[in-house]
Chains A and B, each alone.
Chain A
């Protein structure tokens, strides 16, 4: 079964860690640069995230995402560097444009934060299979229903894409132009939506019935098909991350 998940199956320490730990790391990556807003800390966090990604052997997989992110950030840097109110120190001039130090610094900190957060999500997404994540969350006490919904989402989109392909084939088999330039493609796209949505509704209904007859709504506690995975250092990492965040808060308040 295809899945939208970007999960890349590799052998690495990162892959063998508890998915919950990676959620904690996301929190870490979001809060530390906010609590300690200096550019050095942001840089250190980005360096840490990159190191983790490299150690997980998935760094190259992040390139497409970073491509998009960097492109967006470039516009932020330009706009802030050129036009941010409070810009005073001239860094350099290019034709009619003047780049200012304050704006550039501000934009850099912002960019580093974004890169850091994106990296931390990448660590989760690239090194954790969705089913392991959901399994961990449900074992932590999340409702199995929500767990089911989450894991469905990972499957529904590829399913819809497969359905789209099937219907496109049906349409071009009967004379509708779907190949060619952009206009043709866009024209062919809209008639697809109806059948794809309808098809997935029908699938949903059948799946609901399949779950129902298998007793998904039964009141008794659920059992697990898979043995609980043994993750190393789970608690240590979790408390370690919380401890560092705590320290950061104390540092900030004290200084």
Chain B
């Protein structure tokens, strides 16, 4: 669905962010991890067409990101911004969510239907008339999610969706990701919460110093403790626990661990 070839990018000369990256994305849900400043947000903006590649090519479906406007691309790829304040610009929750669908020429009624559905999904359906600036940070983030989901793109990129979310908020995000997966969307998430990655994503990509240093099934990636350490990424707590207790497997969820542990006790 997405094919990145020889992608290079730099904000300013002499400090390249990416050099010659090659990546392909299929419908597996994918987590992108890496330390602060690794270039994850930059990658998301490049995919979204908000930044244009320096060198190399990004193909999204049949669109070449270089030659298509970001607005055109938004029909196929949606991005939930890292900082909700950068994304929100309308003065009512409902207007904010309807903006995207209307901008890509959905009919008024379809836009409204999608918007209400999306708001229901994130749990903001009772605050349609509220000014987004009066919402809490975690609610704003959910609003941004709804605004993108309402446009119904094939690909959705979340930039740090779980930031500032309490348990209930994280459960909501988890649920949204599941719903999107069921709708057969490609869900891509930039995230620092490794436990969340382990429990929710099939594929994990680790970015460090402008290159992809690990890429593959989440379980395989988290088995590479040394490389992860080098990239300043910590493996999930349950994976660590398994390792410390001397198990050979790489555990991704508490259930897996408990099951294996019970076996070993017999």
B50, A195: Cβ atoms closer than 8 Å:
no
B87, A170: Cβ atoms closer than 8 Å:
yes
Q: Tell me the minimal C-beta distance from B44 to chain A in angstroms.
A: 10
Inter-chain contacts of A169 with B (CB < 8 A): 45, 50, 70, 86
A175, B100: Cβ atoms closer than 8 Å:
yes
Main secondary structure of the interface of A (DSSP, over half): helix
Q: Which of B90-137 contact A (CB under 8 A)?
A: 90-91, 99-100, 103-104, 133
B48 nearest in chain A by CB position: A173
A175, B81: Cβ atoms closer than 8 Å:
no
A176, B89: Cβ atoms closer than 8 Å:
no
Inter-chain contacts of A171 with B (CB < 8 A): 89, 99, 103
B89, A195: Cβ atoms closer than 8 Å:
yes
Answer whether residue A177 sits at the interface, using C-beta atoms and an 8 A cutoff.
Answer: yes
Q: Which of B146-186 contact A (CB under 8 A)?
A: 147-148, 151
Answer whether residue A151 sits at the interface, using C-beta atoms and an 8 A cutoff.
Answer: no
Other A-B pairs, 19, CB within 8 Å; known A171-B99, A175-B71 = A167-B89, A170-B81, A170-B89, A171-B89, A171-B103, A173-B70, A173-B79, A174-B74, A174-B78, A174-B103, A174-B151, A175-B103, A175-B151, A176-B99, A176-B103, A178-B70, A179-B71, A195-B90, A198-B91
A192 nearest in chain B by CB position: B89
B-to-A contact residues, CB < 8 Å = 45, 48, 50, 69-72, 74-75, 78-79, 81, 86-91, 99-100, 103-104, 133, 147-148, 151
Answer whether residue A153 sits at the interface, using C-beta atoms and an 8 A cutoff.
Answer: no
17 A–B pairs (Cβ distance < 8 Å), ordered by A: A169-B70, A170-B86, A171-B103, A172-B70, A173-B50, A173-B87, A174-B78, A174-B151, A175-B71, A175-B104, A176-B71, A176-B99, A177-B69, A177-B71, A177-B72, A178-B70, A179-B71
Q: Which of A168-204 contact B (CB under 8 A)?
A: 169-180, 194-195, 198, 202
Answer whether residue A166 sits at the interface, using C-beta atoms and an 8 A cutoff.
Answer: yes
Inter-chain contacts of B88 with A (CB < 8 A): 170
Bound together, the chains give a CA A194 to CA B87 distance in angstroms of: 14
Bound together, the chains give a CA A195 to CA B103 distance in angstroms of: 17
Bound together, the chains give a CA A167 to CA B103 distance in angstroms of: 15
**CB within 8 Å: A-B pair count:** 60
Q: Which residue, B90, B103, B148, has most C-beta atoms of chain A within 10 A? A: B103
Inter-chain contacts of B103 with A (CB < 8 A): 171, 174-176
Inter-chain contacts of A167 with B (CB < 8 A): 89
A174, B69: Cβ atoms closer than 8 Å:
no
Inter-chain contacts of A172 with B (CB < 8 A): 50, 69-71, 74
Q: Which residue, A176, A179, A202, has most C-beta atoms of chain B within 10 A? A: A176
Inter-chain contacts of B70 with A (CB < 8 A): 169, 172-173, 178-179
B45 nearest in chain A by CB position: A169
Inter-chain contacts of A202 with B (CB < 8 A): 133
A167 nearest in chain B by CB position: B89
Bound together, the chains give a CA A166 to CA B50 distance in angstroms of: 11
Bound together, the chains give a CA A173 to CA B51 distance in angstroms of: 11
A166 nearest in chain B by CB position: B86
Inter-chain contacts of B78 with A (CB < 8 A): 173-174
B144 nearest in chain A by CB position: A170
Inter-chain contacts of B99 with A (CB < 8 A): 171, 174, 176
B87, A175: Cβ atoms closer than 8 Å:
no
Inter-chain contacts of B72 with A (CB < 8 A): 177
| Top 10 A-B residue pairs of the complex, sorted by shortest distance between their CB atoms | A175-B103, A174-B100, A195-B89, A175-B104, A175-B74, A172-B70, A177-B71, A176-B103, A170-B87, A172-B71
